[in-house]
């Protein structure tokens, strides 16, 4: 049983390390580990550090990325929707002329 537990831990740690090595360059920041080293869940300092580190490493990049994505998508959506509506109206008018 001890051998299975140690093999499972080694496999899990290897997978975790591989994921961190792959995701760190893609995401561009490190995981906030120092908050999790000494968790005192009922202390004010723990939640203050958790908020500050999550803001800098998660909330701020997602806010910037979401804003940029929403601007780009909205700039692309208007011309595409306008083109689709004009095509739909042209087909509708063509059918109406054929039916008359």
57 neighbors 23 (Cβ within 8 angstroms): no
Main-chain dihedrals φ then ψ at residue 85, nearest 5 degrees: -65, -40
- pLDDT in the model for residue 1: 44
Residues 6+ apart with CB under 8 A from 39: 46
Instruction: Tell me: pLDDT of 90 over 70.
Output: yes
Residue 4's H or E segment, with its range, is: helix 2-27
- pLDDT in the model for residue 2: 47
**Tens-digit pLDDT profile for residues 33-74:** 554 566 666 778 877 877 787 787 788 888 888 899 999 999
- Positive/negative CA dihedral, 21, 27, 28, 33: negative
């Amino acid at each position: 049983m001890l051998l299975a537990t140690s093999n499972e831990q080694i496999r899990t740690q290897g997978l975790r390390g591989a994921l961190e090595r792959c995701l760190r360059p893609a995401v561009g920041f490190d995981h906030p580990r120092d908050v999790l080293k000494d968790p005192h869940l009922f202390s004010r300092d723990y939640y203050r550090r958790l908020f500050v580190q999550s803001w800098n490493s998660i909330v701020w990049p997602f806010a910037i990325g979401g804003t940029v994505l929403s601007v780009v998508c909205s700039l692309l959506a208007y011309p595409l929707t306008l083109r689709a509506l004009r095509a739909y109206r042209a087909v509708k008018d063509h059918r109406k002329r054929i039916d008359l």
